[in-house]
Amino acid sequence: MKLKVLTLLLVILLAVSGCSSSGDKSASSENGKLATINTMMNKGYEMSENQRQTINQLVADGKNLAAGGKQAEADKLYDEAIKLLEVIAETDRFNKSE
């Protein structure tokens, strides 16, 4: 039952985050996205080492793409890292609420 509720919660979170617009200008720039990622990483959410490595790899790949002038592709990787962190944050809150 707990797993079903968690799965449903994650699906809802992904649906909502996919529908939300990034109207905040500071969060839409590369520096804003990196600041968001750093802030979320520093919150101390419980995550697996695999999740931490995935986020770090997305950021590193994004920085390499941005340095090569491929900002749109880099932004997609930063957005992916932010979405993963949002899921991790929601899961952490859910686990602590029990």
pLDDT at 95 over 60: yes
| Domain of 47, in residue numbers | 2-96
The structure's pTM equals 0.67
Burial class (CB in 10 A: 0-12, 13-18, 19+), 42: exposed
Tokens of 96: 């602590």
> How many domains are contained in the chain?
1
DSSP code per residue over 30-76 = HHHHHHHHHHHHTTT----HHHHHHHHHHHHHHHHHHHTT-HHHHHH
> What per-residue confidence (pLDDT) applies to 5?
63
Tell the residue number behind the tokens 């996919």, with chain if given: 18
Q: How far apart are CA 29 and CA 20, in angstroms?
A: 17
> What per-residue confidence (pLDDT) applies to 24?
44
pLDDT at 20 over 60: no
pLDDT at 54 over 60: yes
* More confident of the two residues 18 and 71: 71
DSSP 84: H
